[in-house]
Amino acid sequence: MKKILGVLLMLCLLGGCASVKEAQNLANCKFALRNVELTDYNLTSLGFTVVIAITNLNKKHPATLKRFEGVLTVNEEHMANVTLKDIRIEPNSVKNAKAKFVVPMSTFSNKLLGLISMNSGTLDYHLTGTMYFEGPLGTEIPLPVDIGRFGNGRD
């Protein structure tokens, strides 16, 4: 019985170490809001695609993003909730994760609609949220992320 408990304890410890390593690897990834593109429009809504570039700087181990939940703002106005799931980023590489969403016209102010319709360079996008990776025994461990701003010629 003691041997079984010892083996179970050892497996839990190894799983915990792997989770800590995965958390560190995911925390060291770089996130960039690569693109926000208007893909569809009609009288009631606008459709967008958001591309988030995730760079795994680790040269040996992949990073796995279980889930990302965030909020996209445009010129500091809430636009949409953004969700990504089950993304694997290979070692020393970049993964472009895409999220598509539809925003009702009622969400937009007149000023913001004018800027979008003119494809203005004065739009400022900001994406913040929480990424989750899988911890020991299937738990999800959260890490906050501020992907930063994109717009006005900034990248």
Domain that holds residue 59: 2-151
pLDDT in tens, 72-90: 888 788 888 999 999 989 9
Sign of the CA dihedral running 147, 151, 152, 155: positive
pLDDT for the residue 97: 93
Q: What is the DSSP string of 61-118?
A: --EEEEEEEEEEEETTEEEEEEEEEEEEE-TTEEEEEEEEEEEEGGGS-HHHHHHHHT
Does the reported pTM lie above 0.85?
no
Number of domains the chain is built from:
1
pLDDT in tens, 119-145: 655 677 888 999 888 777 777 888 888
Q: For residue 62, give the CATH number of its domain.
A: 2.60.40.10
pLDDT in tens, 11-62: 444 444 445 566 567 778 888 888 888 888 888 888 889 898 999 998 888 8
